[in-house]
Structure 1
Protein backbone atom coordinates (compact mmCIF):
# COMPACT_ATOMS: atom_id res chain seq x y z
CA UNK A 1 0.00 0.00 0.00
CA UNK A 2 1.47 3.35 -0.98
CA UNK A 3 1.67 6.26 1.42
CA UNK A 4 -0.91 9.02 1.39
CA UNK A 5 -0.62 12.75 2.04
CA UNK A 6 -2.94 15.62 2.81
CA UNK A 7 -2.48 16.85 -0.77
CA UNK A 8 -3.49 13.44 -2.10
CA UNK A 9 -6.74 13.61 -0.15
CA UNK A 10 -7.48 17.16 -1.31
CA UNK A 11 -6.85 16.11 -4.92
CA UNK A 12 -9.18 13.13 -4.62
CA UNK A 13 -11.81 15.05 -2.62
CA UNK A 14 -11.59 18.69 -3.81
CA UNK A 15 -14.40 19.69 -1.46
CA UNK A 16 -12.15 18.77 1.50
CA UNK A 17 -9.77 21.69 0.98
CA UNK A 18 -9.89 24.01 4.00
CA UNK A 19 -12.21 26.97 3.61
CA UNK A 20 -10.45 30.25 4.27
CA UNK A 21 -12.90 32.91 5.48
CA UNK A 22 -12.69 36.40 4.03
CA UNK A 23 -11.67 38.99 6.59
CA UNK A 24 -12.14 42.72 6.54
CA UNK A 25 -9.09 44.98 6.81
CA UNK A 26 -10.19 45.85 10.35
CA UNK A 27 -10.33 42.18 11.35
CA UNK A 28 -6.87 41.62 9.88
CA UNK A 29 -5.48 44.56 11.86
CA UNK A 30 -7.08 43.18 15.02
CA UNK A 31 -4.99 40.04 14.62
CA UNK A 32 -7.42 37.55 13.16
CA UNK A 33 -5.71 34.98 10.99
CA UNK A 34 -7.08 32.56 8.45
CA UNK A 35 -4.18 30.48 7.19
CA UNK A 36 -5.19 26.85 7.65
CA UNK A 37 -2.75 24.74 9.61
CA UNK A 38 -1.24 21.88 7.61
CA UNK A 39 -2.16 18.43 8.88
CA UNK A 40 0.42 16.60 10.93
CA UNK A 41 -1.01 13.08 10.98
CA UNK A 42 0.60 9.66 10.68
CA UNK A 43 -0.41 7.32 7.86
CA UNK A 44 -3.11 5.43 9.83
CA UNK A 45 -4.93 8.66 10.69
CA UNK A 46 -4.74 9.84 7.08
CA UNK A 47 -6.25 6.50 6.00
CA UNK A 48 -9.05 7.00 8.53
CA UNK A 49 -9.68 10.50 7.15
CA UNK A 50 -9.78 8.99 3.66
CA UNK A 51 -12.46 6.53 4.83
CA UNK A 52 -14.43 9.38 6.39
CA UNK A 53 -14.27 11.44 3.20
CA UNK A 54 -15.33 8.40 1.16
CA UNK A 55 -18.35 7.89 3.40
CA UNK A 56 -19.31 11.57 3.26
CA UNK A 57 -19.05 11.59 -0.52
CA UNK A 58 -21.08 8.36 -0.78
CA UNK A 59 -23.84 9.93 1.33
CA UNK A 60 -24.22 12.81 -1.12
CA UNK A 61 -23.83 10.56 -4.19
CA UNK A 62 -26.65 8.35 -2.91
CA UNK A 63 -28.85 11.45 -2.56
CA UNK A 64 -27.72 12.63 -6.01
CA UNK A 65 -26.61 15.95 -4.49
CA UNK A 66 -23.37 17.91 -4.51
CA UNK A 67 -21.21 17.58 -1.42
CA UNK A 68 -22.25 20.28 1.04
CA UNK A 69 -19.57 20.61 3.69
CA UNK A 70 -17.09 23.32 4.58
CA UNK A 71 -14.00 22.14 6.41
CA UNK A 72 -12.07 24.84 8.24
CA UNK A 73 -9.39 22.66 9.77
CA UNK A 74 -8.44 19.29 11.20
CA UNK A 75 -6.16 18.56 14.11
CA UNK A 76 -5.65 16.25 17.06
CA UNK A 77 -6.96 17.44 20.42
CA UNK A 78 -7.00 15.37 23.61
CA UNK A 79 -6.28 12.19 21.68
CA UNK A 80 -9.07 12.60 19.16
CA UNK A 81 -9.41 13.89 15.61
CA UNK A 82 -11.09 17.29 15.66
CA UNK A 83 -12.82 18.45 12.49
CA UNK A 84 -13.82 22.10 12.36
CA UNK A 85 -16.62 22.12 9.81
CA UNK A 86 -20.08 23.17 8.78
CA UNK A 87 -22.73 21.25 6.88
CA UNK A 88 -26.49 21.75 6.70
CA UNK A 89 -26.86 17.95 6.85
CA UNK A 90 -27.02 16.36 10.34
CA UNK A 91 -25.97 12.99 8.84
CA UNK A 92 -22.58 14.49 7.94
CA UNK A 93 -22.03 15.41 11.60
CA UNK A 94 -22.89 11.83 12.59
CA UNK A 95 -20.36 10.47 10.08
CA UNK A 96 -17.65 12.82 11.36
CA UNK A 97 -18.45 11.96 14.99
CA UNK A 98 -18.09 8.25 14.19
CA UNK A 99 -14.60 8.81 12.79
CA UNK A 100 -13.63 11.06 15.69
CA UNK A 101 -14.41 8.14 18.02
CA UNK A 102 -12.48 5.70 15.82
CA UNK A 103 -9.48 8.04 15.82
CA UNK A 104 -9.04 7.66 19.58
CA UNK A 105 -7.54 4.20 19.11
CA UNK A 106 -5.08 5.46 16.50
CA UNK A 107 -3.92 8.41 18.60
CA UNK A 108 -3.52 6.19 21.68
CA UNK A 109 -1.36 3.80 19.61
CA UNK A 110 0.85 6.74 18.55
CA UNK A 111 1.54 7.49 22.23
CA UNK A 112 2.76 3.94 22.91
Structure 2
Protein backbone atom coordinates (compact mmCIF):
# COMPACT_ATOMS: atom_id res chain seq x y z
CA UNK A 1 0.00 0.00 0.00
CA UNK A 2 1.46 3.33 -1.08
CA UNK A 3 0.83 6.59 0.81
CA UNK A 4 -0.75 8.29 -2.21
CA UNK A 5 -3.10 5.54 -3.55
CA UNK A 6 -6.15 6.69 -1.60
CA UNK A 7 -6.72 3.58 0.51
CA UNK A 8 -7.09 3.93 4.25
CA UNK A 9 -4.47 2.10 6.33
CA UNK A 10 -5.66 -0.82 8.49
CA UNK A 11 -5.45 0.02 12.17
CA UNK A 12 -3.46 -2.46 14.29
CA UNK A 13 -5.48 -5.23 15.93
CA UNK A 14 -8.08 -5.52 13.17
CA UNK A 15 -8.35 -8.46 10.78
CA UNK A 16 -7.42 -8.13 7.14
CA UNK A 17 -10.33 -7.99 4.70
CA UNK A 18 -11.24 -11.35 3.15
CA UNK A 19 -10.20 -11.85 -0.47
CA UNK A 20 -12.92 -11.71 -3.09
CA UNK A 21 -11.95 -15.07 -4.71
CA UNK A 22 -11.90 -18.32 -2.71
CA UNK A 23 -8.54 -19.93 -2.03
CA UNK A 24 -8.17 -23.29 -3.80
CA UNK A 25 -5.80 -25.76 -2.19
CA UNK A 26 -4.12 -28.59 -4.13
CA UNK A 27 -5.68 -32.04 -3.76
CA UNK A 28 -4.38 -34.11 -0.87
CA UNK A 29 -2.79 -37.37 -1.93
CA UNK A 30 -2.05 -40.14 0.57
CA UNK A 31 1.63 -41.02 1.00
CA UNK A 32 3.08 -43.95 -0.92
CA UNK A 33 2.65 -46.81 1.52
CA UNK A 34 4.02 -50.34 1.03
CA UNK A 35 1.50 -52.89 -0.16
CA UNK A 36 -0.54 -54.54 2.56
CA UNK A 37 0.42 -58.15 3.18
CA UNK A 38 -2.15 -60.89 3.36
CA UNK A 39 -2.57 -63.10 6.44
CA UNK A 40 0.18 -65.63 5.59
CA UNK A 41 3.01 -63.25 4.59
CA UNK A 42 4.90 -60.41 6.16
CA UNK A 43 5.46 -57.23 4.19
CA UNK A 44 8.95 -56.72 5.67
CA UNK A 45 10.37 -59.86 4.07
CA UNK A 46 12.36 -59.87 0.87
CA UNK A 47 10.72 -61.53 -2.16
CA UNK A 48 13.11 -64.49 -1.89
CA UNK A 49 12.07 -65.09 1.72
CA UNK A 50 8.36 -64.60 1.12
CA UNK A 51 7.81 -68.13 -0.15
CA UNK A 52 6.03 -70.20 2.42
CA UNK A 53 8.04 -73.20 3.63
CA UNK A 54 7.35 -76.04 6.02
CA UNK A 55 8.38 -73.97 9.04
CA UNK A 56 11.61 -75.81 9.91
CA UNK A 57 14.09 -73.79 7.84
CA UNK A 58 15.37 -71.87 10.87
CA UNK A 59 16.04 -75.13 12.70
CA UNK A 60 18.25 -76.35 9.86
CA UNK A 61 20.25 -73.12 9.92
CA UNK A 62 20.73 -73.32 13.69
CA UNK A 63 21.76 -76.98 13.44
CA UNK A 64 24.32 -76.29 10.72
CA UNK A 65 25.78 -73.38 12.71
CA UNK A 66 25.97 -75.53 15.85
CA UNK A 67 27.70 -78.41 14.05
CA UNK A 68 30.17 -76.00 12.42
CA UNK A 69 31.01 -74.38 15.75
CA UNK A 70 31.52 -77.74 17.45
CA UNK A 71 33.72 -78.86 14.56
CA UNK A 72 35.87 -75.74 14.78
CA UNK A 73 36.26 -76.08 18.55
CA UNK A 74 37.12 -79.78 18.21
CA UNK A 75 39.73 -78.99 15.54
CA UNK A 76 41.30 -76.26 17.68
CA UNK A 77 41.45 -78.62 20.68
CA UNK A 78 43.14 -81.30 18.57
CA UNK A 79 45.75 -78.83 17.31
CA UNK A 80 46.50 -77.65 20.87
CA UNK A 81 46.77 -81.24 22.11
CA UNK A 82 49.12 -82.19 19.26
CA UNK A 83 51.37 -79.20 19.98
CA UNK A 84 51.51 -80.03 23.68
CA UNK A 85 52.26 -83.66 22.91
CA UNK A 86 55.10 -82.60 20.61
CA UNK A 87 56.51 -80.18 23.18
CA UNK A 88 56.35 -82.89 25.85
CA UNK A 89 58.18 -85.33 23.55
CA UNK A 90 60.92 -82.80 22.85
CA UNK A 91 61.27 -82.01 26.56
CA UNK A 92 61.59 -85.74 27.38
CA UNK A 93 64.23 -86.25 24.70
CA UNK A 94 66.27 -83.29 26.03
CA UNK A 95 66.01 -84.64 29.55
CA UNK A 96 67.18 -88.07 28.32
CA UNK A 97 70.17 -86.51 26.55
CA UNK A 98 71.07 -84.52 29.66
CA UNK A 99 71.01 -87.69 31.76
CA UNK A 100 73.17 -89.71 29.40
CA UNK A 101 75.47 -86.79 28.79
Which of the five TM-score ranges fits, normalised by the shorter chain? under 0.3
Question: Structure with the greater relative contact order (CA < 8 A, sep ≥ 6): 1 or 2?
Answer: 1
Normalized per residue, the structure richer in strand is: 1
Asked which structure has the greater CA Rg, the reply is 2
